[in-house]
Amino acid sequence: MEAYLPLPRGRATYVHVGVMKPKDEIIYGLHAVRHAIEHSAESVLELWVQNNKQASAEISNIIRTAEAAGISIQSVAVETLKKHTGAAVHQGLAARRRIIDKLVDLDTLLTQRKNSVPLFLVLDGIQDPHNLGACLRTADAAGVEAVIIPKDRAVAVTTTVRKVASGGAENIPVITVTNIARTLKKMQQAGIWIFGTDDETNTSLYEVDLKIPLAIVMGAEGKGLRHNTRKHCDCLVSIPMRGITESLNVSVATGICLYEVLRQRHYVS
């Protein structure tokens, strides 16, 4: 592989919800709100709690943490929460927080790696926010260096994604790029091997060496990898299937792939 070449800068994408200031957003659900208060309390402007939910053990713990951080807390009717969250499953609480714009620089991640043998996750066009959120949650748990998603024809990091990710969307860098194939090529030039997943290949995930600097590339729901993405992969692997099911949900397949990397790197001598 060749020496490192500069990559274009990317940034995480956020959605502004409701009639708020341009730099505010609403988050909701137990995990997302708890994570925001515990890890970036300075960004949380106010907490809204459904007025018959304060006695819940989980919510009362969140309230105490918010009080200790000096966050404004309001008891509101369920209709108010629905207004703020768009009738989503808010679990009795929501919060308004200031968006802290954070440039995620892939150049820096590639040249100043946290790990000598990094692991990246590339998601090639996921459409379902629940799938993206689940992938981010697993990626964070597996210690992935960064998740790379395309700018177009894919879901961005929305409030639904954040809720499903249970803090993973805030803890792991999410880099949005305009061209996945070009990004893969430049990652290769930085010494990262690109392994794509493909149901049609005869090479099993469990037959390849995953203890190398690596990016796992997952395709879109029902479509798999795009042709131009597939041809930029160094290796295509499949997950063995023994039943009548032809394919797995992309978030399930992502978990299998990432944890096989961890198994090989930490549990196989």
DSSP assignment string, 82-148: HHHHTT---TTEEEEEE----EE-HHHHHHS-SSSS-EEEEEE----HHHHHHHHHHHHHTT-SEEE
The predicted-structure confidence for 108-128, as pLDDT tens digits, reads as follows 888 877 777 999 999 998 999
Provide the pLDDT for residue 15: 31
All structural domains of the chain: 24-98 (3.30.1330.30), 103-267 (3.40.1280.10)
- CA–CA dist 192, 212 (Å, integer): 8
- CA–CA dist 61, 94 (Å, integer): 14
Provide the pLDDT for residue 157: 86
The predicted-structure confidence for 132-166, as pLDDT tens digits, reads as follows 999 999 999 999 999 999 988 888 888 788 878 87
101 and 9 Cβ atoms separated by less than 8 Å = no
Average confidence (pLDDT) per 10 residues, the chain, 269 residues: 32 33 74 85 90 86 92 90 82 83 72 83 94 95 94 86 81 90 93 94 95 95 88 95 86 97 88
Provide the pLDDT for residue 103: 58
Provide the pLDDT for residue 245: 80
49 and 21 Cβ atoms separated by less than 8 Å = no
Length of the chain: 269
- CA–CA dist 223, 118 (Å, integer): 27
